[in-house]
Amino acid sequence: MFFELPKLPYKADELNPVISPLTMEYHYGKHHQAYVTNLNNLINGTEFAKMNLEEIVMKSDGAIFNNAAQVWNHTFYFHSFKPKGGGAPKGPLASAIDSEWGSFDNFKKEFSNAALTVFGSGWAWLVKDKDGKLSITKESNAGTPVKNGLTAILTFDVWEHAYYLDYQNKRADYIAALWDIVDWDIVSARF
């Protein structure tokens, strides 16, 4: 199977000022593309060449896992946002968040803290286990909750390349701004 850089559901400049066109050019256009290119090169002629992306993530390790997981993670991340997003979830996801954290504000605080305290590069995730229970997890580097049998609902990428051009070393400002572009319709549908 040959992988391509997934198309964005918005124009590269439409998340500005939260994510600038320059950051999109580098983060999506160069970093995400590099993971796709690397993955294609690594799986060519191997047993993984006939697998879909999630199968590769589940069955691989080393460089193949790192690139496959980063393709999966980045695609998930970029498809969690929309221009003029933000607000709060509604329906079953909102009820589950309120049940687990007491309020959406408490959830935002906990999730933001998880993203802020990922050591080095990685990801903060809102996930659901097989029983439907929500939790917040942190993954380093290419770590992904899919590998642990969890269903991903929302992620914030806290690799420096996701925010350094726009926020320099102010990870907290970047995290706070991301809430303004979350596409709660897409995120809620994952629940």
Tell which residue, 116, 98, 118, 95, has the closest CA to residue 107. Answer: 98
What do you get for the CA distance between the two ends of the chain, in Å? 28
Indicate the CATH number for domain 91-190. 3.55.40.20
Contacts of 51 (CB under 8 A, 6+ apart): 1, 43, 59
Rounded Cα distance, 159 and 121, in Å:
4
> CATH topology for 21-78?
Helix Hairpins (1.10.287)
What is the pLDDT tens value at each position of the chain, 191 positions in all?
A: 789 999 999 999 999 999 999 999 999 999 999 999 999 999 999 999 999 999 999 999 999 999 999 999 999 999 999 999 999 999 999 999 999 999 999 999 999 999 999 999 999 999 999 999 999 999 999 999 999 999 999 999 999 999 999 999 999 999 999 999 999 999 999 99
Fold match flag (21-78 vs 91-190): no
pTM: 0.95
Q: Domain coordinates of the chain in residue numbers?
A: 21-78, 91-190
